[in-house]
Each structure stands twice: as C-alpha cells, then as structure tokens.
Chains A and B, each alone.
Chain A
Amino acid sequence: MGRVKGLEEVSLKSSLSKFTCRNNQLAWLGLQQDGFENEIVAARQQYGAHRIGVLIGTSTAGILETEHAYQQKDPVTGRLPATFIPRGQYTQDAFSVAHFVRQYLELTGPAVVISTACSSSAKVFATASRYIEAGLCEAVVVGGVDSLCLTTLYGFAALQLTSPGPCRPCDATRDGLTLGEAAAFVLLEKSPRNGNSQTTALLGYGESSDAYHMSHPHPTGQGALLSMQASLDSSNLSTSDIDFIHLHGTATVANDQTEDRAVATMFQAHTPCSSTKGWTGHTLGAAGAVEVVLGDLCLQQGLLPGCLNTTNVDPSFSSHVLLENQERPIRYIMSNFFGFGGNNCTLILGKL
C-alpha cells in the first residue's frame, strides 16, 4: 500500500478548515508542488478567475471521514457525531474536492467532479478539452485526487484483486494491484502562454463503455479498443505515430490480459508499452492525472519507463512490454484508463 506520509499533519488555511479531511489534505499538498500556484496566479491575471474552470476526478472523495463517523455513532440515538454532520458537504461529498480546489485557488469558473472509478481523472481531460472548445473557459485546472480509505482497502481485498506485495504489472505471476493515493493537477490551456515551446499538449482523447460487466473487463478488450481508436481519430494520428503506450496495467490478472489483447490487436508487437503502477501503485480516481504528469515528464526527458518489479512478462502476451527504462526522444504517448462499470478513456499526449 502506497501511503503518503504525514498527510494527517497537513493543516489547511483557517478559512478553509471546514474542508479538512485526508482527501483535501492530499489535494492541498498536490497544489503546493512545482510552482503550480504561481502558474494559477499568472493564469488568473491573464484570463480572469471566472474564465478558469476546475474539473477534478475522484472515486471516493473524503469517504474516510464518514467511515470514521460511523465508528463513532451514538450508541443510543444512532446519530453521527455532531462535529461531522455539518462537514459532510465539505469532506465526504463527491464534489467537495473540486469545491475545495476552486476556493483555494480563488477561481470562479465552472466546476464539476467526475467520478467514473479508475478512469475519473482521465475523463476530466476530455471534459476540460470540450469546455475550452465550446468557449465555456479559457483554461481549466484539471486534476485527480484519491486518498486511501477503508472502503477501497476492504473492497479490493474482497474482490481478491490486491497483491500481498508491490504490484508487478504484466508479470507472468502477477497477483493483483497495490493501492496508492495521490493528487495531481495540470493547467489545461487553449494555447501555450508566453510562447513556451517545451509544452506538452493533449492531442486527443477517446471514451467508450464495455457494456459487459460491472467489475470485469470485456474479455477481448473490445471496449478498450474502441477508446484507443477514438483517441487516434480525435488526434489525427495513426498507430505508427505512437512511440509509447502507457498501459492502465493495474497488475490484476484480468486487466493486464485484456489490455494486452487490445494493444496487440491494434499495435501488434511494434510499439513499446508499459505500466507505471509499479512505481506509484494504483491511485484509482487520481491515476489519470498522475499518469498525464508522468507522461509529460517522459516526453520532456525522452524516457520510456519499464514496468518496475516485473521480472518475466506473461508468455501469453503479444504486445511489446518494456521491463527496463529506455532513453530516447519520443513525440507521442497513448495512455489508457479503465474503470469499474466498464468505463474507458484513452488520452494522447504529445510534444508541440
């Protein structure tokens, strides 16, 4: 389990203390990184706070607070603690994380939370892109925040999908996912400010539904293929343009197998692919934004990451799985995200 150390100690500024919960503490910590706040200040000056949207993906928001509140129910009345009741809106509620980010960054444009399980914060990139195209915003703070809670720990264990050790995506003896927690944010803009030529661009996206099963992927990877094809169509790229496929690669037996089928059907063994879940764990609703940030680093630094912890690629796989890091310039990355409910999203990132 990938736990962010010291998160409980993070204190939000006093005017936002009502938002205090593990999920928003994680969001706060994420917003402090890499000069992100300074970028937002500059963007606010350029576009106006009302022209910047906030779209965040999360699967469980601050549900940990509710789990704790139930443990502290009044034994006589059955009521939740009086301290929790007025804070449900700011902690447990699905929208609370976008509400918090919007207030913290002093933005006044449209805001929504998308919650489609493990594709949540990939889907926000698609929605943000449409917001900008439709003229609702000039820029959007896009992000994913998901924190550890008992529901997901016990839930994935009950589905026998968690590995006892660090996860090993695509390994012949992979035995499940490792839960992680993360917050990641990106400022998506119509065009680069200040003529920055080192910018990574969202070139396209694809979305689809499996229409098959609530928690098992379609066995032939049909839904994944639809999403991948739609992402190529929307970016006007073909399979031969893609330098690297960033797999959803959760290291569960079923996910990696069906994703391999889909990738091999589309790319045969031509294009290198790997999952970075060995490095980060599966951060669920935050995985989309986390892996976009990783994809940005890979593009800017010319890195193809290998599958950490994986020693023997499943011999039944036909795609070209990387075990070791490779360093060479790359131009286009395809990133896959699949969630419960058969919800698929594929993003294409590229260097401008």
Chain B
Amino acid sequence: MKVFVHGVGVLGPGIENWNSCRTLFKEQRPYDDSVTPVPMPSILPANERRRSSEIVHWSLGVAQEAVHNSQLSPKDMAAVFASSGGEVGILHKICESLASPMPIVSPTLFHQSVHNAAAGYWSIASNSQRPSTSLACYDSSFGGGLLEAATLLATGQEELVLFAAYDVPAPFPLSETRPLIAPFAMAFVLGKQALPISLSLLHITLLSESMAKAPTTMIHPSLESLRLGNPAARGLPLLHTIANNQTTSVFLDFLDNLQLQIDHQPCRPCPD
C-alpha cells in the first residue's frame, strides 16, 4: 500500500514539535529528555480545553501540528486515532469514585471515558464530518493505526487521512499494570496523491513471521528506551527516516508474529 506523508506532528520528552524532532534526528542538537513539553491544542475552545483530559491535549496537539504543516483543511480528512491505553486518567478517576462508599460516575467523566473521546473532540474542533476510527492494539497500536490509515487510502475510500498515535502513563495505582516511560504522541497527514507539500512516499507491506527482519531501532539509548517504553513511540524510527530523507526500509514489529515493512522514499529534501 502506497501513501504520501503531507505533514507531521510530534510531541514527547525533549521533543517540542516536528521541527525540534528533525534537528534532533539530524544530530544538530543533543537529546535532552529532562523537559517534557506541555501540549497546547489551541484548536480546542478554551472551555473544552479546561474540561478535557491530558491525553486529549496530547493527541490534539500533534494532530493540529500535522494538519498545520500539511497546509490542508482538516475538514477533508478522515481520522484514525490509535492508542493502547486511551483515557487512562479518566478511567482512574472513575474507578476511584466507584470504589468509594458512595459510588458515582459523573456524566462528564463518563462521556470522556470512551476510547474515542480524543477523536470525538478532534472532529468537533476541526469540524470534520469524515469517518473517524479509534483503535487499540497494545504495543502494536502505532502499527494498527498505520494499517487502518493505509487501507482507508489504498481502497480508495478516502483521499486524506489524519493518523494520530498517542499514549500517556496512567496515574498510580493503575500505572502498575501498564508502566509507560513517558507521554508520547505523533501524527501524520497521509494522502493518496503526491502534493507539492509531500515529504515522503511510504510503501507499506505486512510481513508474515517467516519474512520478518530485525525491527528497526533507535541508536540513541534514551530514544530507544522511549521507543520501547510507549506504544506510540514505536513510530520513532520512521520519524528518524523521514527527518533524514533516507531511502530505506523501516521494520516495525506487529503483534507477536507479524511485521510491517515500510519502504521510505523522500519526495523532496526537508527544508533546514
């Protein structure tokens, strides 16, 4: 399946946006993960921003950046939101409340608890009535989302897809069942056709066990820890390849026995 990358958004410890990510991956600056940026999804009205959860801010922050960088209208984009844990913060609050002597679930917390809360907020904020899918695939959530986005384009159903992958650590004690190293989110605007803005062409193939290669890793130890420590950060090697305009293949483990081979071809040099 062939898809073009028209825009990228990214947010993680020591990574403020796509531009900061590119300078990092081109080794123009050292990696300092001591500061985790605060997402600022200005596309959400202020009152919704106050009410909504941390993970909504992370996912909409990168979605907004990718759309901005693509110079395309979000109204024309289908959305694929991929997250392993989804609304872990809201889930924690609900479980705390249900374990109290007077169990109750607030109406606001309840509608914010659905896995597709972030995608719902996105469709409202971006005013897009195109289809929207929210999915989960444990450590393979990035790959599951990329497959969904690619099949939407490959089957001709959609011309443009916003794909966001994001996960944040759960609060204690829920965190003990699924320890994540740090919050991380990234987004692509993907399309069927090459545009002057296009950064890359991706050719995505699903490999069975017998065809699988060693997965592509990050050389920097902290970035490799991040890749393994947050399901959304499984996309880091692909971001690294895009940032460096490399014509190469990225191998991404998918479930326990499959792999995605992503052949990357730059469309133009990334501006410095």
Contact = CB atoms under 8 A, between A and B. Distances in A.
Interface of A: 50, 59, 63, 66-67, 69-71, 73, 78-80, 84-89, 92-95, 98-99, 102, 108-117, 123, 126-127, 130-131, 133-134, 136, 150-151, 154-159, 207-215, 222-223, 226, 234, 339-343
A335 to B, nearest CB: 16
B84 A158 contact: no
B35 to A, nearest CB: 28
B130 interface: yes
A122 to B, nearest CB: 11
A159 B177 contact: no
Given A116-B119, A214-B112, 6 more contacts: A70-B99, A79-B173, A110-B254, A115-B135, A117-B116, A207-B133
A66 B174 contact: yes
Interface stretch (B24-32, B143-151, B241-249): B143-151
Given A94-B84, A134-B151, A210-B123, A340 B116 contact: yes
A110 B178 CA distance: 23
Chain B, interface size: which category? Answer: 35 or more
A88 B144 CA distance: 20
A343 B133 CA distance: 8
A191 B263 CA distance: 31
**Which 3 residue pairs are nearest across A and B when measured between Cβ atoms?**
A341-B120, A88-B177, A155-B110
Given A158-B104, A158-B105, A209-B130, A214 B124 contact: yes
A258 B148 CA distance: 30
B152 interface: yes
Q: Which of B86, B120, B172 has the most CB of A within 10 A?
A: B120
A131 B148 CA distance: 8
Q: Which of A78, A80, A89, A134 has the most CB of B within 10 A?
A: A134
A159 to B, nearest CB: 5
Given A89-B138, A209-B131, A136 B98 contact: no
Contacts of B135: 112-115
A211 B116 contact: no
A73 B78 CA distance: 41
Given A63-B91, A85-B176, A226-B129, A214 B119 contact: no
B174 A80 contact: yes
Contact of A158 (B107, B137, B177): B107
A130 B80 CA distance: 14
B208 interface: yes
Given A73-B173, A339-B116, A112 B147 contact: yes
Contacts of B107: 155, 158-159, 215
Contacts of A110: 144, 147, 206, 254-255, 258
A341 B127 contact: no
B1 interface: yes
Nearest to A340: B114
B163 interface: no
A209 B111 contact: no
B209 interface: yes
A184 B147 CA distance: 24
A78 to B, nearest CB: 6
A88 B258 CA distance: 23
Contacts of A223: 129
A111 B173 contact: no
A87 to B, nearest CB: 8
B137 A116 contact: no
Contacts of A151: 94, 98, 105, 110, 113
Given A130-B151, A159-B111, A210-B123, A113 B137 contact: yes
A214 B111 contact: yes
A67 B95 contact: yes
Contact of A154 (B98, B111, B136, B138): B98
A136 B147 contact: yes
A209 B118 CA distance: 13
Given A116-B116, A130-B151, A158 B110 contact: yes
B132 interface: yes
